[in-house]
């Protein structure tokens, strides 16, 4: 028992607590976005968001779209890249073999998650992109930054080419069953209906990721690696003025987007070139702006001497068990909506409140688990199996 306690203390000292807090926030944001998919067929989201909404539903929809949707996974991707960069920096010569094993195991976890639990899995995509960065991780920082910018800009370039008919890039359209049949499939048909719907959604989900999300994730992973290689993580404990300056710049970007969305945005005008490109540019800039705004805000709050502001430290428990909590969110969502029968009967406001309640539950559970075991169950299994496989006598040629 003494040995376990000492190992827990050592691991805790090695961690950067601010990163755990940021990761915890990202996990909460992912739940805010995914909980909608847990409880309603994605083919009929227009019904979910455009029904007879109360003020709470309208507020929840606004918050979800403008502060979490397509924004929290950029934070998580950046942290994923930072994690890869830190592993590489520890031992560049042994890194490729161990990293390939870790990404392969993460892919297995992701595929299990997608097929058995919930079709919207992101872990398998992270694992594949994690393998791709092996090709460029040895490059100098400036080349990593250039590649990251180009990858980030590709969806914009692709969109311009498609709109001007220079590129024909269409995904296959799928015929959807009526919403009442999909709801029945996910509630009264038990495991058969659950698995059937999961398989129905795998290809559409892959196409969604390939159309836009993949590029933002890969871009931010590369940025995370570049941050580690440039030793910028060393400034997280000081140079708070730089965080304040960046907070002001990114806060202006976030404010600009929200003012545009509230005062000027008109869905019909996005069919016109000027209206569309204005929306597209501000939306993408707000994604990047909010990523770094949240990071700066959380670091400054963490460093604040005001005790009530330091309450955000509880997010570190959520962040330290990020992989376990991500999978647990899916299990809880499937249980609440499919097993208990609330599938298709929720609303944006109720789902937002439920996401907050589930996050509080996960924080309490994570704190309890960490105080006794020091590492999450899935994190521990992932690390243990990666080390066990890495000791086997086989060669990986790159």
Question: What's the rounded Cα separation, in Å, for the pair 336 and 229?
Answer: 43
Question: What's the rounded Cα separation, in Å, for the pair 141 and 398?
Answer: 22
Tokens of 336: 């609440």
CB atoms within 10 A of CB 124: 19
Nearest to 331 by CA among 43, 112, 57: 112
Question: What's the rounded Cα separation, in Å, for the pair 75 and 151?
Answer: 16
Would you give the DSSP letter of residue 176? P
**Within its chain, how far is the Cα of 362 from the centroid?**
17
- pLDDT, residue 9, reads 41
Would you give the DSSP letter of residue 177? P
CA distances from 378 to 75, 281, 383, 385 (A): 21, 39, 9, 11
Segments of 233-282 assigned E as strands: none
Q: Counting every residue, how long is the chain?
A: 398
Question: What's the rounded Cα separation, in Å, for the pair 295 and 341?
Answer: 38
- pLDDT, residue 52, reads 60
**Within its chain, how far is the Cα of 120 from the centroid?**
12
- SS3 at position 139: coil
Question: What's the rounded Cα separation, in Å, for the pair 315 and 153?
Answer: 32
- pLDDT, residue 134, reads 94
Question: What's the rounded Cα separation, in Å, for the pair 58 and 197?
Answer: 29
Q: What is the pTM of this model?
A: 0.90
- SS3 at position 305: coil
- SS3 at position 341: coil
Question: What's the rounded Cα separation, in Å, for the pair 360 and 58?
Answer: 23
Question: What's the rounded Cα separation, in Å, for the pair 236 and 238?
Answer: 6
How confident is the prediction along the chain (398 residues), in pLDDT tens digits per residue?
333 334 444 344 467 899 999 999 999 999 999 999 998 887 777 777 776 678 888 899 899 988 998 788 899 999 999 999 999 999 898 899 999 999 999 999 999 999 999 999 999 999 999 999 999 999 999 999 999 999 999 888 888 888 777 777 666 666 677 778 888 888 888 888 888 888 888 888 888 888 788 999 999 999 999 999 998 877 766 778 888 999 999 999 999 999 999 998 887 888 888 888 888 889 888 889 999 999 999 989 888 877 777 788 999 999 999 999 999 999 999 999 999 988 888 889 999 999 999 999 999 999 999 999 999 999 999 999 998 888 876 665 55
Question: What's the rounded Cα separation, in Å, for the pair 282 and 393?
Answer: 52
Question: What's the rounded Cα separation, in Å, for the pair 335 and 330?
Answer: 8
Tokens of 274: 């000027």
């Amino acid at each position: 028992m003494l040995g376990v306690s000492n190992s827990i203390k050592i691991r805790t000292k090695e961690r950067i607590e601010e990163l755990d807090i940021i990761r915890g926030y990202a996990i909460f944001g992912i739940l805010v976005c995914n909980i909608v998919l847990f409880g309603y067929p994605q083919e009929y989201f227009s019904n979910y968001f455009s029904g007879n909404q109360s003020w709470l539903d309208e507020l929840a929809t606004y918050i979800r779209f403008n502060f979490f949707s397509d924004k929290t996974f950029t934070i998580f991707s950046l942290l994923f890249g930072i994690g890869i960069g830190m592993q590489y920096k520890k031992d560049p010569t042994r890194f490729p073999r161990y990293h390939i094993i870790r990404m392969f195991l993460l892919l297995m976890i992701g595929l299990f998650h997608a097929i058995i639990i919930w079709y919207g899995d992101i872990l398998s995509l992270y694992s594949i992109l994690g393998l791709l960065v092996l090709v460029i991780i040895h490059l100098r920082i400036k080349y990593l930054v250039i590649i990251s910018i180009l990858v980030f800009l590709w969806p914009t370039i692709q969109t311009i080419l498609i709109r001007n008919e220079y590129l024909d890039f269409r995904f296959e359209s799928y015929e959807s069953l009526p919403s009442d049949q999909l709801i029945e499939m996910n509630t009264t048909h038990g495991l058969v209906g659950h698995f059937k719907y999961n398989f129905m959604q795998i290809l559409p989900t892959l196409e969604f990721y390939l159309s836009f999300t993949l590029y933002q994730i890969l871009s931010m992973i590369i940025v995370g690696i570049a941050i580690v290689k440039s030793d910028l993580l060393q400034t997280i404990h000081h140079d708070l003025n730089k965080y304040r300056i960046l907070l002001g710049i990114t806060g202006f970007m976030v404010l600009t987007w929200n003012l545009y969305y509230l005062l000027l945005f008109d869905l019909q005008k996005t069919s016109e070139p000027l209206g569309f490109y204005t929306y597209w540019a501000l939306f993408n800039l707000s994604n990047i702006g909010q990523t770094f705004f949240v990071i700066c805000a959380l670091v400054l709050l963490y460093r604040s001497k005001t005790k009530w502001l330091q309450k955000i430290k509880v997010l570190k428990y959520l962040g330290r068990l990020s992989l376990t909590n991500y999978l647990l969110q899916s299990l809880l969502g499937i249980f609440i909506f499919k097993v208990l029968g609330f599938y298709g009967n929720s609303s944006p406001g109720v789902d937002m409140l439920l996401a907050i309640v589930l996050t509080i539950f996960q924080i309490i559970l994570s704190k309890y688990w960490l105080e006794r075991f020091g590492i999450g169950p899935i994190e521990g299994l992932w690390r243990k199996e990666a080390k066990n496989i890495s000791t086997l006598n086989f060669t990986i040629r790159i």
